[in-house]
Amino acid sequence: MTQEKRNCLHCGKPIQGRVDKKFCDDSCRNTYNNQQNPESVNLIRNINHTLKKNRKILETLIPSGEVLAKTTRERLTRQGFNFKFYTHTYQNKKGNLYHYCYDFGYLELDGDWFLIVKGKEV
């Protein structure tokens, strides 16, 4: 049984080891894959990261077993919440507009206060 010579897809160095190995090390694999992904994929990755971070912040503000909480804009901002990114909005019958990050949302109240909610409809 003859072994074919395999070379790293990024740097071209000979590869030793597993038959299905394509890169000589993790650095070459990461560099190669980052070059293959267009900027739009990186943009989407960054947006998704921000949305997940926003969701996590909202989730941590609601006490265990509760579905509502109040907090300030300053507290949200201090924790790294980005108000530009949300997945959808919901307007209730009273006309209040909730912004959601997946299943956690917020309603802007008077005086830089926010109502944090869990679930789609309040």
Per-residue pLDDT of the chain (122 residues; tens, 9 = 90+): 556 789 999 999 999 888 899 999 999 998 888 888 777 788 898 999 999 999 999 999 999 999 999 999 999 999 999 999 999 999 999 999 999 999 999 999 999 999 999 986 54
Measure the CA–CA gap between 65 and 70, rounded to whole angstroms: 15
The whole-angstrom distance between residue 36's C-alpha and the CA centroid of its chain comes to: 21
Amino acid at 56: K
Q: What is the pTM of this model?
A: 0.70
Nearest in space to 22 (alpha carbons), one of 2, 40, 7, 37: 7
In the chain, what are the domain boundaries?
Answer: 52-118
